[in-house]
Amino acid sequence: MELRKLGKSEIMASAICLGTWSIGGGSWWGASDDKESIRAIQASIDGGISFIDTAPAYGFGHSEEILGKAIKGIRDKVVISTKCGLWWGGEEGEPFFELEGYDVRRSLQPSTIRRELEASLKRLGTDYIDLYITHWPEVGDSPTPIAETMSCLMDLKKEGKIKAIGASNVSVEEIREYSRHGQLDTIQERYTMLDRHLEPEYVALVE
């Protein structure tokens, strides 16, 4: 399996990443078999995939929990990507959606980021995250400035709790603002051979 460097970080990850949204099950994907999910993750690792992406919102923590069980004892073989910014643990942030009894909000405040991270670390059974991605931008009348969000994420890097920083569902200007305040290593957007709408602006950012 080809390995590629994640941005300016020192992390080398497989060119193919295993996504685990469906493993979370729930209303989006329906029932899932946890034992089969664990076997699928481990088979992917055996096949050379070291890069695995998840998020707290995938099954409201369930995807992270299953991934944690699958990599128990082999943490050093995987590069874990998870996210922050979709929050259901309090009143902070702007309402985004309600599902399965959860009131999900967009929040990239330092206080909620830290609480989300600690919950993810516990579910994943690890003491650090390789790549930590902001899942969605915060919206509303007074969203948290990107400078404050990045300051928190850079502090988490210094503390050793995360190794690299990414952003998802962001505009070109938001990407530039992230980069003005720290080291942004990855951008996670929809981009395929069939959907290349990002090329005119986004690809130019990394050239």
Closest CA to 163 of 145, 136, 186: 186
Closest CA to 6 of 128, 166, 150: 166
Largest CA distance in the chain: 48
- Examine the residue annotation and report whether 178 is marked as an active-site residue of this protein: no
CATH class for the domain made up of 3-205: alpha beta
pLDDT of residue 144: 96
- Catalytic hit among 58, 132, 178, 202: 58
The answer, yes or no, to whether residue 207 has pLDDT greater than 80, is: no
Q: List, in order, residues 6 or more apart from 118 with CB less than 8 Å away.
A: none
**98 CB-contact burial (10 Å; exposed 0-12 / middle 13-18 / buried 19+):** exposed
pLDDT in tens, 158-188: 999 999 999 999 999 999 999 999 999 999 9
When pLDDT is averaged across residues 3-32 and rounded to a whole number, the result is 92
The predicted model scores a pTM of 0.95
- pLDDT confidence of 26, banded at 50, 70, 90? confident
pLDDT of residue 23: 92
The answer, yes or no, to whether residue 154 has pLDDT greater than 90, is: yes
Domain range list for the chain: 3-205
- pLDDT confidence of 150, banded at 50, 70, 90? very high
